[in-house]
Amino acid sequence: MKPLLFRLNPEGAHHLIFFVLKVAFKIPFVKWIIRGMYTVKAPSLERELFGLKFKNPVGLAAGFDKNAAFIDELEPFGFGFVEIGTITPRPQPGNDRPRLFRLPKDAALINRMGFNNDGAAAAAERLKRRKAKIIIGGNIGKNKITPNEEAFSDYEQCIDILHPYVDYFVANVSSPNTPGLRELQDKEPLMKLLKKVMEKNASMPQPKPVLLKIAPDLTDEQLDDIVEIAESLKLSGIIATNTTISREDLKTDRKIIENIGAGGVSGKPVTRRSTEVIRYLCQRTKIPVIGVGGIHSAEDAIEKIKAGASLVQIYTGFVYEGPALVKRINKALVSA
């Protein structure tokens, strides 16, 4: 289906795939056939992390199922966990279209989606109705109109609404597509924000693990600050990394890149840098790291695990390589 889908605009192709899956899964036995084709089961794949038991270490990164609308359709493809979002307290349309672009020569995507989502209440309602038993992460952020000084309130509202339905939270302060958001990665504002997030989570009946998702564009000094904050606040984990604002070493024609404009690059151009960040963090802290960024093969995933990642996530690799990528990674891990 890839040649056909790549003739469509990326966002349209994304919605078409999910429509087809919704229809196909109404046919008896289709879900079980897909599960049999793509799921790898082995005790050696199981991971226990921050109090959760993952059936395998390969997850779907945030951004693919922003609104928790397709958990039941995604689970049979063999994922060990699915991260929804980024979810904001109130619905928002995101940035103007077009806002998602393929770079086939680079096996990459550029996106400037802008946290388009239906809001926390809608996501919670869908999660309440899901049937699939799979670990769900809730990636949360602030609405575009919320000033950074009040960002903590948006994260707190998301925790309030989503808490009964997700297994862990991810504070996303690293998307390049919400104006000013990455400023929250600076040491002082990040400490203030995460302290509020942790206090809110601790006030809930059963506190959930809280992780932080960071950008690949941080300096070593900034990464040191991240480690210091994560350890002082006792975060459960760090997700490394989000998309990059860098345009270095892309094979795609420079004029095409300029015409696309702003947005974060994901896929193979991020592979090396995300692994470097993972290795740097894991050499300086025992806090678990989830590795994401440019995983297009089993070898890419294993490289991130060797760098210290406890779990991995895919997104752009899933788009370019197809659902068999999850199976290939898990089979390689069983054989390793």
Per the document, the length of the chain is 336
Q: Which amino acid is at 301?
A: A
**Ranges assigned E (strand) in the chain:** 47-49, 52-54, 58-60, 81-87, 100-103, 108-111, 135-140, 168-172, 210-214, 237-240, 264-267, 289-292, 311-314
What DSSP state is assigned to residue 205? S
174 is catalytic: no
- In the chain, % helix, strand, coil (3-state, to 5) comes to 45, 20, 40
Q: Which residues contact 253 (CB under 8 A, 6 or more apart)?
A: none
What is the SS3 assignment for 82? strand
174, 175, 266, 274: which is the annotated catalytic residue? 175
Nearest to 327 by CA among 45, 91, 4: 45
List C-alpha distances in Å: 189 to 44, 225, 259: 40, 12, 34
What is the rounded distance in angstroms from the CA atom of residue 181 to the CA atom of residue 176?
A: 7
Q: Annotated catalytic sites, by residue?
A: 175
